[in-house]
């Protein structure tokens, strides 16, 4: 029988050939897995032959397999190129995300051990732009001697945390900073370059998590701060990539991030760090908005009382999932526009009254009728 070109191989036949990427010979049991007609076809084509050990791919079959692998590689490259372009477009379209490198305030690769440690410890659970960044910059500018570990250790022994980073000395974060300094001293570290080399080993990263107050996020963020570009994809980066409309596994996501950084003409750690801070700040905002909603309690049936001023028919009760939908998951803020039936209304204010145990939504007077409504919170 004439051997077909790759384009004429059917899907089931391609699947059988693809399995020989695992080895030249497959057991007879593959007959139970694959379509028997497809298996007979690849044998008839001379791509696979039966031997005593099972089914063996022939020289012709190896050529076909090589071409199939090349086609698959090209397909993945095309798909990745599209995802890279999608991520770059998404990054450039976010006004609150600044991935540019500013010589005076870039936190990637700065030669200051004290600032790196403070940055890594403080970022967890705090707004980076307004809380963490000013304190880290103060430490870098006011205490240049803390650029080495010994210099930073001497500083925190002679100055209070209130003076150094405007944080209470007795706080958990202040203690974590002291613990981390002591830990790195025992590891024999002194400079940022030594810290980078040390953080490059996974076993060292695991040891770091033994410090109270240091978890996976802090370790990962510290790796990025010292300029390592192989930090694994975490929740923040994974969610950001999903928000961009890209659905891939973590390994592919890492490759997409790498190529996107090249297109944006910035170091990969800078892109990683900027996205991480962006998502971290929004996560905190979301938690704050949810904290406001927690001021009111559900009734006996687990539902929450909601009133809409001027629209009596929209009043009623909702469960917590619907209630939390008032919060924009991207910005962490309450929505400023809501649909009521086919009308879009600007929201002037949300009033949360713990005494009456209810939330009142106050919309504006102007209605805008929308022909097609994709999401409606209240009807």
Is 212 a member of any domain?
Answer: yes
Last residue of a domain, one of 254, 289, 324: 289
Would 333 be classed as within a structural domain? yes
Same structural domain, 258 and 326:
no
Say yes or no: 226 and 322 in one domain.
Answer: no
Among 246, 265, 289, the domain boundary falls at 289
The answer to the question of residue 228 being in a domain is yes
pLDDT of 373 higher than 60: no
CA 337/CA 370 separation, integer angstroms:
13
| 308 and 209 within one domain | no
Q: Tens digit of pLDDT for each residue in 173-194?
A: 999 999 999 999 999 999 999 9
**34 with 175, same domain?**
no
Q: Which of 234, 256, 289 is the last residue of a domain?
A: 289
Q: Domain check: are 325 and 247 in the same one?
A: no
Q: Do 240 and 326 fall into the same domain?
A: no
Q: What is the DSSP string of 38-101?
A: HHHHHHHTTSEEEETTEEEE-HHHHHHHHHHHHHHHHHHHHHHHHHHHHHHHHHHH-TT-----
Query: Is residue 161 included in any domain, yes or no?
Result: yes
Same domain membership, residue 214 and residue 347: no
Domain span at residue 317 reads 304-369
In a shared domain, residues 269 and 316: no
Q: What percent of the chain has pLDDT over 90?
A: 22
> How many domains is the chain built from?
3
Q: How much is the pLDDT for 207?
A: 93
In a domain, 69, yes or no: no
233 alpha-carbon distance from chain centroid: 6
Q: Are residues 206 and 346 in the same domain?
A: no
Q: Is the model more confident about 120 or about 371? A: 120
Is pLDDT above 80 for 202? yes
Across the range 342-368, mean pLDDT stands at: 75
Of the pLDDT bands very low, low, confident and very high (cuts 50, 70, 90), residue 366 is: low
Query: Is the predicted pLDDT of residue 371 greater than 50, yes or no?
Result: no
* Entry pTM: 0.51
Compare 131 and 63 and report the one with higher pLDDT. 63
* Same domain membership, residue 338 and residue 238: no
- The confidence band for 367, taking pLDDT boundaries of 50, 70 and 90, is low
- Residue 108: inside a domain, yes or no? no
Dihedral over alpha carbons 328, 329, 332, 333 (to 10 degrees): 0
Give a yes or no: residue 192 inside a domain.
yes
113 pLDDT above the threshold of 90: yes
Give pLDDT, residue 144.
93
Residue 104 has pLDDT above 70, yes or no: no
């Amino acid at each position: 029988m004439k051997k077909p070109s790759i384009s004429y191989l059917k899907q089931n036949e391609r699947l059988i050939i693809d399995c020989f990427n695992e080895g030249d010979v497959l057991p007879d049991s593959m007959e139970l897995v694959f379509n028997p007609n497809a298996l007979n076809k690849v044998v008839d084509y001379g791509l696979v032959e039966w031997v005593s050990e099972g089914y063996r791919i022939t020289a012709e079959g190896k050529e076909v397999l090589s071409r199939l692998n090349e086609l698959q590689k090209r397909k993945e490259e095309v798909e990745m190129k599209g995802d890279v372009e999608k991520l770059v477009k998404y990054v450039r379209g976010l006004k609150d995300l600044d991935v540019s490198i500013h010589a005076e305030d870039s936190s990637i690769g700065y030669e200051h051990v004290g600032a790196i440690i403070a940055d890594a410890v403080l970022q967890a659970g705090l707004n980076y732009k307004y809380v963490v960044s000013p304190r880290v910059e103060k430490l870098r500018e006011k205490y240049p001697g803390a650029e080495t570990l010994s210099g930073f250790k001497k500083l925190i022994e002679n100055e209070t945390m209130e003076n150094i980073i405007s944080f209470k000395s007795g706080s958990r974060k202040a203690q974590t900073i002291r613990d981390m300094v002591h830990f790195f001293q025992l590891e024999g570290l002194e400079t940022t370059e030594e810290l980078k080399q040390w953080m490059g080993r996974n076993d060292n990263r695991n040891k770091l998590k033994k410090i109270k107050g240091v978890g996976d996020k802090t370790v990962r963020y510290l790796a990025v701060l010292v300029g390592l570009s192989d930090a694994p994809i975490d929740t923040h980066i994974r969610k950001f990539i999903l928000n961009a409309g890209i659905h891939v596994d973590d390994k592919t996501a890492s490759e997409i991030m790498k190529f996107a950084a090249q297109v944006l003409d910035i170091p990969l750690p800078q892109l990683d760090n900027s996205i991480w801070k962006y998502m971290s700040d929004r996560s905190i905002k979301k938690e704050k908005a949810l904290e406001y909603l927690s001021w009111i309690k559900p009734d006996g049936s687990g539902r929450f009382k909601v009133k809409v001023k001027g629209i009596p028919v929209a009043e009623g009760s909702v469960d917590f999932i619907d209630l939390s939908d008032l919060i924009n998951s991207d910005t962490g803020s309450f929505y400023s526009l809501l649909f009521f039936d086919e009308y879009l209304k600007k929201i002037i204010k949300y009033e949360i009254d713990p005494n009456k145990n209810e939330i009142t939504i106050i919309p504006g007077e102007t209605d805008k009728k929308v022909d097609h409504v994709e999401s409606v919170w209240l009807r």
